[in-house]
Structure 1
Amino acid sequence: MRVPVSWLREYAALPAGVTARELAARLIAVGLEVETVDELGADITGPVVVGRVLAIEELTGFKKPIRYCRVDVGAANGSGDPQNIICGARNFSEGDLVVVALPGAVLPGGFAIGARKTYGRMSEGMICSATELSLWEDHEGIIVLPEGFAEPGTDAFEPLGLRDDVLDIAVTPDRGYALSVRGVAREAAAAYGVEFRDPADVALPAADAAGGYPASVADAAICSRYVLRGVTGFDPDAPTPLWMKRRLAMTGVRSVSLAVDVTNYVMMELGQPLHAWDRARVRGPIEVRAAHRGERLETLDHVKRTLDPDDILITDESGPINIAGVMGGLDTEIGLETTDVLIEAAHFDAAHIARSSRRHQLSSESSRRFERGVDSAVQLAAATRAVLLLEELGGAVVDEGVTHIDLGAARQPVALAERHAARVAGVDYPKGTSARRLREVGCEVAEADGGDTLLVTPPSWRPDLGDPNDLAEEVIRLEGYENIPSVPPRAPAGRGLTSGQRLRRAVGRGLAGAGFVEVLSYPFLGERDLDGLQLGAEDARRRTLRLANPLNDDEPLLRTTLLPGLLKALARNVGRGFGDVALFETGLVYLPREGAPERAPMLAVDRGPTGEELAAVEAAIPEQPRHVGAVLAGDREPAGWWGPGRPATWADAIEAAREVAHAAGAELVVRAARREPWHPGRCAALYVAGAEGAVLVGHAGELHPRTVAAFGLPARTAAMELVLDLVERAGVRAAAPEVSTYPVATRDVALVVDAAVPAGEVEAALREGAGELLESVRLFDVYTGEQVEEGRKSLAYALRFRAADRTLTAEEVAAARAAAVAAAAERTGAVLRG
């Protein structure tokens, strides 16, 4: 919402010396988000005055019409003589008042005005258009001022409003009243403790006034108040006054015509959207109702729209003429010859308007206000203000009859403990503070229990005030958030991170240290994602929970695996030029419980839940195990002067899983497996040792080519996913290793085994056979070729031996090596390679 400070001052008696930036700071302090302060006209300097055109000489012989004008600028030029000015505009005549920039002036954009010879004549200044002065958009010619606007030579800055400060406020959804000058002025008055003059305080017709245009409302739930007021004899050629054009332009609204401009002006002033019809085009009584399925309406943007039963419609005998609160129909719009105007002001249900606006993809100034909640009692005042402006500015005659349908219920008072705001803020506010501040925002306050309880009736323009905490917030923000003392919480001794929190941090540090970058993706997916993973119809990961109101219709399901989010993040990075990517994510997945209800129950908000209701909620909550996943593509080790790079492979995905297991203190066992979405020949099942034997905790490997194609990934992309909760349960707190000061003895051994024998089994046998003297074992070479038999492979391991209390002898090392080889031969059929 853009609010000119000059307009604001009409309704809030702000101190004269308050600057726009000081006002913005004060409004921010009471909770309004003032994003910027625009200083309009600050780049206009020098003499810009009112002038009267005395004579016009038409110059010929040029490619376009040129006029040589003599303009009376009074004494503004220092001599009192008429000013000679060249001008190409055609929309003014002799005797008209215009705006003149004299030599020495600088207009927006740094355009300096001087005296110069052009078209064979000396031009001493410029006759200005609204666009050249940045007043409003106007491409029809220069500004022609109304007669009596000012005397020639008068400085034009103040009467034209060339300089003004505009507050640009980002209005949050709960503060719809701030989408008006009226609402912001009330906030400013409260912030400074000064008088507020309500622009809605206009002379209203008698309460029993009747005879208005016939109308009815089908359902109070969709429209609680409906007002119609009309005028006749309106002059469709009457121009919008300059002051109104200027104010509309400063608020970001384009001037259209006087009738339309008046409705927009009142909307910006009071926050109440209005709609104007050509009454001659409205056929029969008006009815406010919900749409019927299949109805259609051509709106003002020339689009024929199919209406939904959730849409609120304004109809006459011909059918729909408006989508209420969103956009009017084409057939009844104000035209260039309209003389009888019907003004509508209504209070529509906010939720209906919000849904209609999104359904039809029509977001307007009107819908923005309705969906945030407008004042439910200002409709008659707004319509009256509009017809009085049409009478004043357009020569119209206001109808005596008024249509006023009031179906709203009076707001009930809220009981508020007088000390409630003080207890919430932790500040000892003096007694009477709450009542005073609540009255400043428009509440009616009565005292009970000797003043210890306040009965507060929120005003009609504050639908967001509904319980004691809402009211306490009003008191606290006006008293100043900055006056609430900052008291850091004191952590009780002996408490810290849980074991799960420590593990997650250790996993994050480990994977980050291994070159992975952490990402956070939305926990939503769609059927297309599951299809891309090549999951079969019976795969448990296809059993998902569906959101009742998804953010994205293409992703209505809660995730059962981290992989879709990771793969889409990987594809996005690769698509933006990052070819070598390694990402990881730790997060929850959501698995439906057996026998859970299809829909989670909705709890009441006006009372606490019963035991049965809590049990029903608990039954609907899905299981939420924590997973960790990682994906890799491109080079794992970059190329450079040191040599070629190394592409990421399935082995790097398995190593990432080992890093997670290491952080948990668990030993990972790797076995060949088949599982979507991994390549059937390059997939590993990952196990950890548990109390009941090996527990499957995840999979890793190279992704299936069809999955790679479905997500648009680089070829040979690798991934892993583990159930971190299962890894945590299998982990043990490892004792700090003993560091021996004695030397290490290294022995290599090359073993030939069948090609189908996993290297991990050979390693496990070596560890078991070598005994406690073995410090580590590392596979450093795998060979298949002419020097081994077909169907066999050679595995070369480096064995490190060390004792904690002595230097090992050659005989001890040889015996340990021989025992390791013997164990490998017995368990895997390995033979020493010659």
Structure 2
Amino acid sequence: MRAPVSWIREYADLPADVSTQALADRLTALGLKLEALERPGEDLVGPLVLGRVLSAEDEPQKNGKVIRWCSVDVGGANGTGEPQGIVCGAHNFAVGDLVVVVLPGATLPGGFEISARKTYGHVSAGMICSARELGLGEDHDGIIVLPSDLGQPGDDAIELLAIRDDVIEMEINPDRAYALSLRGVAREAALGLGAPFTDPAQRPTPPANDDGYPVVVEDPPGCPVFVTRTVTGFDPSAPTPPWLARRVQLAGMRPISLAVDVTNYVMLELGQPIHGYDGDKLTGPIRVRRARRDEHLTTLDGVDRTLSVEDLLICDDSGPIGLAGVMGGETTELSGTTSRVVIEAAHFDPVSIFRTQRRHKLPSEASKRFERGVDPRLPQAAADRVAELLVRLGGGTVEPGVTVVGEAPEPVTITIDTDLPERITGMPITAETTVAHLRAVGCEVTLDGDRLHAVVPSWRPDLTDPFDLVEEVARIVGYEDIPSVLPAAPGGRGLTASQLLRRKVGRTLAGAGFVEVVSFPFVGSSAYDALRLPADDPRRESLRLANPLSNEQPLMTTTLLPGLLETGARNAGRGQPDVALFETATVTRPRGSQPAPILPVDRRPTPGEWDDLQKALPDQPLHLALLACGDRERAGWWGPGRPATWSDAVQAVRDVAQALGVEVHVRSAAVAPWHPGRCAEVLLGEEPIGHAGELHPKVCQAFGLPARSAAAEVDLDALLQHAAAVRSPEFSTFPVAKIDLALVVGEDVTAEELRGTLVEGAGELLESVRLFDVYTGEQVGAGRRSLAFALRLRAPDRTLTDEEVAAVRASAVALAEERHGAVLR
């Protein structure tokens, strides 16, 4: 919203010493954020005066151009009182016209200095100005011709044309529609500076009668109030006075014609959009109704629009003549021949207007106000104001007929405790201050002991509950005075058990050298293709978003790997191929196709409704995914480096399980996107909870990852569900007994299977077991390999004897021989 300061001062009696910057700062503190502060005409230096053309002789030039040598009366502004000789290239004026003249010594906007100079054989002492040269518009084809009675030659044109006037441009929040008018901005200015305010909408209006232009409202919810007034004998050629055109222009709109400019001026003044019809083009009564299927309307912008049955229309007997609250139609628009003007001032349903302008992609100054909520009590005053200005500026008479259909809704009454603003804000706000500030914003306040009843003003539809009133009081007192108090944390509260476990997972992986990342949960089918997921893979069954951020990623991801692999590839593409990343987040897995019920908001859902809602929700389990690329250990003076392998991914999952106190084991598997021969399935008991291993070479290539990158993804919810209670570690003071076993088994026996057998055979004295060597060669025979394990035994209450150690060794070896045909090497 652009508000000229002189226009604000017309309704708010602000102190003369209040600067524009101070006014803008106060408005910002009240919630009307300053967007820009402009000072049109600031760089214009006079003398700029009115002049009357005494003579104008056309002189053709050799270049084909015809100039006019003019004699212009500028009064005593030139110091001599003699007419001024000026060369002018425009031809849209005649002898006797009142024009704007800039004299030598002046500077026009843009730093253009004016001096007497010889041109076209004459000494031109000044210039007759166009609108663009003065910064009053873009018209440069002709000079400005003013009404003959505007002033006398020599009068200061800067003041008469309001060329200098500070303009405050504000960002208006959607809930403050009243501020999209000078009435609203001036009210806020008076409120913020404690100045008297004159409401331009407070004017006597004639009562409704049966002689006005007939109106039929077929959709009262969409149009609660519709007012018409009629002006006859209007002069369509009457010019818009400079002061009105300048105000409309400074407010951000383009002057067009007197009738249109008046309707725009009143809209800017009061905030009530107005539409004018050529009364001679209307046929039959005006009707307000919803559109019929396949109806069309050509709007004022010349576009033929196919209407929706939800569109609210203004019609006459010929059919649609306007989109209600958005834009009028071509058939009844005001033109250069309009002498009978039918004025429409109506109130429309904000939701209906919003949907119509969005549907037709047709935002307008009117719809911008209607969709935010216009004062429903304004139409009569606004229509009367337009009629007054049309008659005063364009002649004619106002017909006595006044049509008013419908009535404004009853105002809302809100009851609050008088000390509620103090309790909510923490500021010392007395009951008297609360009452005074609520009355200042327009509420009618009555006291009932420690409670007050506030009748909300009609221009504030955003005030609906007690805390809205608290906000009004607080913003007037000043948000900057609200104390900053750190609330004391109640005892006995902290992180939940689940949060503690999730943080333990993060700390464990961070300690292992992994860095946490956060990815968007959206994917496209191309991501599943890059992962080489089969067509029947359940991970391809994704929930599709109705309004995705990107049409290329319309699906909710069922796996964390696409985002994680893309992050790894982004690092590799920027010269950082050695990364270890992890992410914990939910994935989305749809179940069934039952739509979610639309529940009411005025009560709790019933158990049945709650169950139906839960059935419509997708499963969202918490997953853990990790990625290791490039070198896991870098080379240096300390020795050679080591690339990341499948075992790093498997070990990271084991580390997390160990930190949670959960026992997991792995077995060989072949699942995309992992390499078929280097993929491990992670098991919790007999339940698969994820996979880990080396990524398939074509997956690495598709994502742009270093070759042989390793990844893992597991169901973290399953691990957390079985996580053991946190216990302090127990240490034994007795010495450890060491056993190293090298067992020869077939190549089909995995190290994990053999390890599990040794753990079972060794029994409760076993403290740890670790694979430290794998050998294949002639010494063990074809199709076989040697797996060497380090077993560590310890008892919590004694030193183990040689006989006990030997018995554990024999038991472990015997079970390995029985199950796997292992031979002690």
TM-score (norm 2): 0.80
Counterparts of 1:704 and 1:277 in 2: how far apart (Å)? 72
Letter in 1 for 2:368: R
Tell me the CA shift for residue 60 of structure 1. Answer: 0.8
| 1:727 aligned residue | 719
| 1:98 aligned residue | 100
| SS of match in other structure, 1:132 | helix
Which moves more between the two structures, 641-650 or 232-241?
641-650
Counterparts of 1:648 and 1:274 in 2: how far apart (Å)? 72
Tell me the CA shift for residue 520 of structure 1. Answer: 5.4
Tell me the CA shift for residue 752 of structure 1. Answer: 8.6
1:432-462 Cα distance to aligned partner (Å, 9 max, x none): 33332222222222333xx433332212111
- 8 Å contact from structure 1 (residues 180, 269) kept in 2: yes
- 8 Å contact from structure 1 (residues 566, 585) kept in 2: no
Tell me the CA shift for residue 226 of structure 1. Answer: 0.9
Tell me the CA shift for residue 379 of structure 1. Answer: 1.0
| 1:247 aligned residue | 247
Letter in 2 for 1:444: E
1:5-44 Cα distance to aligned partner (Å, 9 max, x none): 22111111122222222222222322x2413231223751
- 8 Å contact from structure 2 (residues 229, 399) kept in 1: yes
Which moves more between the two structures, 617-626 or 166-175?
617-626
The match for 1:609 among 604, 611, 621 is 604
| SS of match in other structure, 1:10 | helix
Counterparts of 1:647 and 1:321 in 2: how far apart (Å)? 75
Shift in alpha-carbon separation, 1:741–1:553, aligned structure 2, 3 A: same
| 2:518 aligned residue | 519
Tell me the CA shift for residue 407 of structure 1. Answer: 4.4
- 8 Å contact from structure 2 (residues 49, 77) kept in 1: no
| SS of match in other structure, 1:432 | helix
Shift in alpha-carbon separation, 1:785–1:265, aligned structure 2, 3 A: farther
Shift in alpha-carbon separation, 1:748–1:220, aligned structure 2, 3 A: farther
Tell me the CA shift for residue 50 of structure 1. Answer: 1.7
Counterparts of 1:18 and 1:278 in 2: how far apart (Å)? 44
Counterparts of 1:395 and 1:319 in 2: how far apart (Å)? 31
| SS of match in other structure, 1:414 | strand
| 2:269 aligned residue | 269
| SS of match in other structure, 2:467 | helix
| 1:200 aligned residue | 201
Letter in 2 for 1:473: E
| SS of match in other structure, 2:371 | helix
Letter in 1 for 2:489: A
Tell me the CA shift for residue 284 of structure 1. Answer: 1.9
- 8 Å contact from structure 1 (residues 40, 162) kept in 2: no
Shift in alpha-carbon separation, 1:81–1:177, aligned structure 2, 3 A: same
Shift in alpha-carbon separation, 1:42–1:275, aligned structure 2, 3 A: closer
Shift in alpha-carbon separation, 1:625–1:610, aligned structure 2, 3 A: closer
Shift in alpha-carbon separation, 1:357–1:528, aligned structure 2, 3 A: farther
Which moves more between the two structures, 677-686 or 296-305?
677-686
Letter in 2 for 1:371: E
- 8 Å contact from structure 1 (residues 35, 170) kept in 2: yes
| 2:622 aligned residue | 627
Question: Quick check: 1:455 aligned with 2:450?
Answer: no
Question: Quick check: 1:34 aligned with 2:33?
Answer: yes
- 8 Å contact from structure 1 (residues 137, 254) kept in 2: no
Aligned alpha-carbon RMSD (Å): 5.3
Question: Quick check: 1:344 aligned with 2:339?
Answer: no
Counterparts of 2:98 and 2:422 in 1: how far apart (Å)? 64
Shift in alpha-carbon separation, 1:416–1:490, aligned structure 2, 3 A: closer
| 1:423 aligned residue | 423
Question: Quick check: 1:480 aligned with 2:478?
Answer: yes
Counterparts of 1:327 and 1:571 in 2: how far apart (Å)? 53
The match for 1:491 among 471, 489, 504 is 489
Shift in alpha-carbon separation, 1:84–1:420, aligned structure 2, 3 A: same
Note the 1:635-784 alignment, pairs <5 A: 661=657, 664=660, 666=662, 669-673=665-669, 684-688=680-684, 693-699=685-691, 714=704, 721-732=713-724, 760-761=752-753
| SS of match in other structure, 1:487 | coil
| 1:808 aligned residue | none
- 8 Å contact from structure 2 (residues 568, 581) kept in 1: no
1:405-449 Cα distance to aligned partner (Å, 9 max, x none): 01443235333333333333344432333332222222222333x
Shift in alpha-carbon separation, 1:750–1:119, aligned structure 2, 3 A: farther
Tell me the CA shift for residue 404 of structure 1. Answer: 1.0
Shift in alpha-carbon separation, 1:266–1:828, aligned structure 2, 3 A: farther
Shift in alpha-carbon separation, 1:421–1:734, aligned structure 2, 3 A: closer
- 8 Å contact from structure 2 (residues 680, 693) kept in 1: yes
Shift in alpha-carbon separation, 1:648–1:25, aligned structure 2, 3 A: farther
1:752-779 Cα distance to aligned partner (Å, 9 max, x none): 9766665655676788899989989588
Shift in alpha-carbon separation, 1:82–1:320, aligned structure 2, 3 A: same
- 8 Å contact from structure 2 (residues 208, 404) kept in 1: no
Letter in 2 for 1:627: L
1:320-364 Cα distance to aligned partner (Å, 9 max, x none): 222212222233323333332222221111111112222222222
1:568-588 Cα distance to aligned partner (Å, 9 max, x none): 986997999899798765444
Counterparts of 2:288 and 2:530 in 1: how far apart (Å)? 48
Tell me the CA shift for residue 789 of structure 1. Answer: 8.9
- 8 Å contact from structure 1 (residues 562, 629) kept in 2: no
TM-score (norm 1): 0.80
1:574-604 Cα distance to aligned partner (Å, 9 max, x none): 999899798765444566789x974335234
| 1:227 aligned residue | 227
| 2:563 aligned residue | 566
Letter in 1 for 2:600: L
Identity rate of aligned residues, in percent? 48
| SS of match in other structure, 2:682 | strand
**5+ residue gaps in structure 1?**
806-811
Tell me the CA shift for residue 733 of structure 1. Answer: 6.4
Note the 1:353-364 alignment, pairs <5 A: 353-364=353-364
Shift in alpha-carbon separation, 1:154–1:510, aligned structure 2, 3 A: farther
| SS of match in other structure, 1:367 | helix
- 8 Å contact from structure 1 (residues 566, 583) kept in 2: no
| 1:178 aligned residue | 179
Counterparts of 1:135 and 1:638 in 2: how far apart (Å)? 71
Shift in alpha-carbon separation, 1:402–1:741, aligned structure 2, 3 A: same
Question: Quick check: 1:443 aligned with 2:443?
Answer: yes
Letter in 1 for 2:172: V
Shift in alpha-carbon separation, 1:778–1:683, aligned structure 2, 3 A: closer
Letter in 2 for 1:105: T
Counterparts of 1:220 and 1:158 in 2: how far apart (Å)? 47
- 8 Å contact from structure 2 (residues 35, 171) kept in 1: no
Q: How many residues align?
A: 813
Counterparts of 2:54 and 2:231 in 1: how far apart (Å)? 39
Counterparts of 2:778 and 2:44 in 1: how far apart (Å)? 91
Question: Quick check: 1:379 aligned with 2:362?
Answer: no
Which moves more between the two structures, 57-66 or 483-492?
57-66
Counterparts of 1:659 and 1:263 in 2: how far apart (Å)? 74
Shift in alpha-carbon separation, 1:488–1:456, aligned structure 2, 3 A: same
- 8 Å contact from structure 1 (residues 297, 321) kept in 2: yes
Letter in 2 for 1:453: R
Shift in alpha-carbon separation, 1:830–1:746, aligned structure 2, 3 A: same
Return the index of the structure with the highest Cα Rg. 2
- 8 Å contact from structure 1 (residues 226, 345) kept in 2: yes
1:171-220 Cα distance to aligned partner (Å, 9 max, x none): 2222221211111222222222221111112331x324232222111122
1:627-679 Cα distance to aligned partner (Å, 9 max, x none): 24558799788999999999999778767756765765656544444667778
Shift in alpha-carbon separation, 1:369–1:584, aligned structure 2, 3 A: farther
Letter in 2 for 1:236: P
Counterparts of 1:457 and 1:227 in 2: how far apart (Å)? 25
| 2:158 aligned residue | 157
Counterparts of 1:799 and 1:335 in 2: how far apart (Å)? 99
